Structure 1
Amino acid sequence: METTWKEQTLETIEQRSWPEPDFDDHTGQRLYALWRTPLARFTVEDIRLLIAHKAALSHLVPLAIEKLGGNLFAEGDFYPGDLLQSVLTIDPEFWYANRPLWSSVYELIRYRDWELEERGIRADGFLELS
């Protein structure tokens, strides 16, 4: 039986290891562990954290879009919509190189600007890329 990409780890997909963290670096330890965790086990917070650290965006943004499609204001550890905010603040170079992904996110938010504003989610930089 063939393994789907979601059953693989970022370490396998990216064919590289995450740097081993300092012993007292909680975030570094978490990122190190996530790099070796199958994508199918990722929580909203796991995806948000990795995206915030600009890790493996070409693999994580599709997962984020999937989560956001089910709940635009999916919540990690901080507030409702923190995953969306992380996605919207990804570097423009990524979006220019990945227009279909940009379009998918755009379709999720295009008619919901009042909800974004009400929740304090800033999309202006993302929308300027249109």
Structure 2
Amino acid sequence: MKRKEKPHIVDHRTRSLEDLENDRWGEPTFGSSVVQRVHAARTKPIRDLTAGELRLLISQKVGLPYLVPLALEKLDADPLTWGSFYEGDLLAAVLALPPETVARHSGWRERIDQIAQRYFEEINRLEGSASLRDDMRSRYDRFKNGR
């Protein structure tokens, strides 16, 4: 009996943004640390990006179709994910996405809404979190209202 071959499936998470977008930026021509870090992160397999790198790239609007689903997975696991600066800064970057970008991707808005609700439930349990909660509430309100 002949064995049926399984189709070869390439996991896009093993590839870098440079590969996925087929766009090599080369060496940065501007010396800022943000530019340097964005360029470096674009060369890593996306599965290896840290929460901080995801936050940075998403806030710079780089690679969104590939990175937002990955960020949403991390936020599903922990809405308070700390990227670089504070608990929930990855969520803050996602909430700042342009409304037209969110509208183009099925399911993003609903997932973001669910994650934000869990964020508020969890942040309310932490002492000294009122300013974080209030800031995120403002960001979430802007997100819900399309800016």
SS at match of 1:63: helix
Q: How does 1:1-130 map to 2 (within 5 A)?
A: 2-18=9-25, 20-22=27-29, 24-110=31-117, 112-113=119-120, 115=123, 118=130, 119=132, 120-121=135-136, 122-129=139-146
- 8 Å CA contact retained: 2:14, 2:47: yes
- 86-95 or 20-29: bigger deviation: 20-29
Unaligned runs of 5+ in 1: none
Distance in 2, matches of 1:128 and 1:10, equals 30
Shift of the 26–89 alpha-carbon distance from structure 1 to 2, 3 Å rule, reads: same
- 14-23 or 53-62: bigger deviation: 14-23
Unaligned runs of 5+ in 2: 1-7
Task: Return the TM-score normalized by structure 1.
Answer: 0.87
Shift of the 23–55 alpha-carbon distance from structure 1 to 2, 3 Å rule, reads: closer
Distance in 1, matches of 2:13 and 2:140, equals 28
Distance in 1, matches of 2:33 and 2:100, equals 29
Task: Return the TM-score normalized by structure 2.
Answer: 0.78
| Alpha-carbon shift at residue 51 of structure 1 (Å) | 0.3
- 106-115 or 75-84: bigger deviation: 106-115
- 83-92 or 103-112: bigger deviation: 103-112
Distance in 2, matches of 1:112 and 1:55, equals 24
Question: Over aligned residues, Cα RMSD in angstroms?
Answer: 2.1
Alignment length, in residue pairs?
Answer: 129
SS at match of 1:110: helix
Q: What is the match of residue 5 of structure 2?
A: none
| Alpha-carbon shift at residue 90 of structure 1 (Å) | 0.7
Q: Percent identity?
A: 31
Q: What is the match of residue 3 of structure 2?
A: none
